[in-house]
Amino acid sequence: MKKQFLTIAVLCALLSDGLWAQLKTLSMAEAVLRGRTTLAPASLRQLQWIPGTEQFAYADNDRLVRVNAIDLTADTFDILPALNAELVRQGERQLSTLPNCTWLDQHRLWFRESGNVFIFNIAEGKLSLKTWFSKEAENVDVHPKTLWVAYTYRDGLWISIGGKELGVAQSEADGIVYGKSVHREEFGIRKGTFWSPSGRYLAFYRMDERMVTRYPIYVLDSMPAQVRYIRYPYAGATSHQVNVGIYDTQSGRKWYLNTAGPSDQYLTNVAWTPDERYVIIAIVNRAQNHLWLNLYEVATGKFVRTIFEETHDKWVEPENPPQFVPGSNTDFIWQSERDGFNHLYLYDLSGKLLRQVSIGPTPVTQFLGFSADGTRCFYQTADESGLNRYNWASDLYTDNEKEAIGPNEAGIHQVLVNSSGEWALDVFTSAQTPRLIRLVSLKRERPTVRLLFEAPNPLADYLIGQTRLVTLKSTDGFTLNGRLILPPTFDSLKRYPSVVYVYNGPHVQLVTNSWLYGAELWMHRLAQEGFLVFTLDGRGSANRGYSFESAIFRRLGDVEIEDQLAGVRYLKSLPFVDTTRMGVYGWSYGGFMATSLMTRPEAAEAFRCGIAGGPVLDWRMYEVMYTERYMDTPQENPEGYERSSLFNYIENLKGRLLIIHGSSDDVVLLQHALRYVRECVRKNKPIDFFIYPEHGHNILGRDRVHLFEKIERFFVENLR
């Protein structure tokens, strides 16, 4: 019996070797260029609910599929030939692929193409041009019902209605900007225009940057050399000034809300009341520790009242505007971390707290909307570990228990709820599941779950190593989540070099219970080349609650280094880790961390080499809004700024450090890297430096392949 078992084991080993030999290896170009496309789990593209119906739709190649949720009967529309015929008839160029479409109802959808907004009627096969605007337009904002378009051109703001252009506001001087995002896109700000519900009015930002430091960006191909200037408000320096204007498309009149207060306060989370009588703005002071949710009368621009205030001894950070309950002009959902976790609060415009909708140590990570009758709302939360995402339906006005949307097995659930609130599409992934899409009935009398789509493993033909989840403890008792990727041919009796990929800064979480545990494919390429690749989300990172995230306050780098070194100790405890061959890599905040881990005395030569991409090297050179939230101003916290400045630790640099920067980086200025390199030269410290000409804060396109091939070569040369 024993002999037979040994024979089977040998046969299995030979078979395994044969299968392994047939598997492909990833090139870095594949990992970078295809990691989010053909080598990512397949999905149903353009998946969306059709408003006012129990139907959903998605794109299948260049066809549209419309599905009835009740019985899953489907219609397929091959609309691209009809679209192209209509486009040619109207003198427009043909499309090579199906455009990104948004459904208006069960027969009509709209899309943008080359400065045009079209409506296509599937039932009639007709294409109509709704409006058009300049092809040079930027910051395009289409009203979801009227399809009127607000957009910026240079620093001015325009509206197009049926091709008729309305000049809302034009820049009076260099440094005055209309209709663009402000406050460097902090506080959840992603745009600078805000349509009213009916589309009659447009609220917009006016930003005056004339008092802000001008910073030169090198223009490569001009002869002689030229520069273009951006406005960059350094921490502690003068910031820009913002107002909110209102434009009436009927009368052409423009006026401003009376947001009186200090000129450098922040105007965030702009929202309209459903009746268009009022605009709500969350006002945050420069210190970012006091919020006023203010109500302004649209007709006059007058301040009406403060609905409520929030304060904290560290920071308040509103990131989501009020969401009004359907059928109500007064009741709205507000998101706040006031009790230690981001939660939903139901208020009315008088400032009365009607009910706290979500509770507990599970922060809300996404608000999904309301039922059509305004009795329930839907939202996503992280669990206590931070690894999983679950979705819930809660009654707004009663204390009934929340109800899970769908099966809620461990993993990441992204849910789309239809306009009635009776159906949901659950897009699910986990470490073991590439992607599932399920239809979920939210009708209490007949809950059902049906599988619609299951993605195959996109890496089934590739040599991919095992990914392990690691949990460690911080010194103050928090559980820290880590991810360890092993080489595909891992042998526990061998000793391997390791690369730590780090970010560990605010608003970012790298380890989740998603496909491949959230790792990018370039990490698997490194593992394929014989490296262990490790990542740890330490204190300061996202979705773990206020105490976890605010542990970095006024001392950026301290607890983050402490937690990353706990990860290093874990690696060193593993018998298959070569403790003499460890490297670290990070970008942006991760670049700050990588440089810190190469030079701060706490790290004590833990790493032989490191790569810092686009790193913040002295927080006094970073921008106002982000830096002062976490550090206060340099004048208020000189000790914290001095301690976190990596210029103070250059003497400790022992291993090889490569700094990479984009020459046109307007987020972390090139000044950080150039000054740091200069100081390394002055101190006779070895430093490697590489610039990507005319790239911004991220190296994108095909040049990204060059970046990661360079990263791989660096670690091969120094660790293998």
Torsion of CA 29, 32, 38, 43, to 10 degrees: 180
Q: Are 203 and 167 in contact (CB under 8 A)?
A: no
Domain ranges of the chain: 43-132, 143-321, 468-719
* Catalytically annotated residue among 155, 563, 618, 665: 665
Give residue for tokens 């979480």: 509
User: Which DSSP symbol is given to 601?
Assistant: T
* Catalytically annotated residue among 290, 507, 697, 706: 697
Whether cis (ω within 30° of 0) applies to the bond prior to 447 is no
- 524 in active site: no
Give per-residue pLDDT as tens, 481-524.
Answer: 999 999 999 999 999 999 999 999 999 999 999 999 999 999 99
Q: Are 672 and 587 in contact (CB under 8 A)?
A: no
pLDDT score for 291:
98
Structural element, H or E, at residue 391 = strand 389-395
Give per-residue pLDDT as tens, 412-432.
Answer: 999 999 999 999 999 999 999
Show Cβ contacts of residue 105 under 8 Å, excluding neighbours closer than 6 positions. 50, 51, 52, 53
Give per-residue pLDDT as tens, 307-334.
Answer: 999 999 999 999 999 999 999 999 999 9
Distance, in Å, from the CA atom of 693 to the CA atom of 709, rounded to the nearest integer, reads 17
User: Which DSSP symbol is given to 403?
Assistant: E
Phi, psi of 463 (to 5 degrees): -85, 100
Q: Is 143-321's fold the same as 468-719's?
A: no
Torsion of CA 339, 345, 347, 352, to 10 degrees: -30
Q: Which CATH class is domain 468-719?
A: alpha beta
pTM for this prediction = 0.94
Residue 618 identity: D
Nearest residue to 504 via CA among 630, 412, 601, 664:
630
pLDDT score for 17:
55
Task: Determine the Cα angle at 300 with ends 296 and 302, to 5°.
Answer: 40
Distance, in Å, from the CA atom of 122 to the CA atom of 482, rounded to the nearest integer, reads 49
Structural element, H or E, at residue 214 = strand 214-219
Using CB atoms within 10 Å of the CB of residue 298, give its burial: 0 to 12 exposed, 13 to 18 middle, 19+ buried.
buried
pLDDT score for 223:
84
- 3-state secondary structure labels for all residues of 505-548: CCCCCCCCCCHHHHCCHHHHHHHHCCCEEEEEECCCCCCCCHHH
* Catalytically annotated residue among 514, 588, 596, 664: 588
pLDDT score for 10:
37
Q: Are 389 and 427 in contact (CB under 8 A)?
A: no
Distance, in Å, from the CA atom of 221 to the CA atom of 212, rounded to the nearest integer, reads 27
Distance, in Å, from the CA atom of 303 to the CA atom of 301, rounded to the nearest integer, reads 7
* Tokens (6 digits) for 275: 């009746």
**566-576 burial, b if ≥16 CB within 10 A, otherwise e?**
bbbebbeeeeb
Using CB atoms within 10 Å of the CB of residue 487, give its burial: 0 to 12 exposed, 13 to 18 middle, 19+ buried.
buried
pLDDT score for 15:
41
Q: Are 193 and 139 in contact (CB under 8 A)?
A: yes
> How far is Cα of residue 75 from the mean position of the Cα atoms in its chain?
34
Give residue for tokens 């959840």: 188
CATH number 2.140.10.30 is the correct assignment for the domain at 143-321: yes
Low-confidence ranges of the chain (pLDDT < 70): 1-21, 445-447
Distance, in Å, from the CA atom of 140 to the CA atom of 574, rounded to the nearest integer, reads 53
CB atoms within 10 A of CB 352: 12
DSSP lists the bridge partners of residue 436 as 428, 454
pLDDT score for 19:
59
- 588 in active site: yes
pLDDT score for 20:
62
Specify the 3-state DSSP secondary structure of 280.
strand
If phi > 0 it is left, if psi is from -120 to 50 it is alpha, else beta; for residue 153 that is beta
User: Which DSSP symbol is given to 278?
Assistant: E
* Tokens (6 digits) for 559: 């607890």
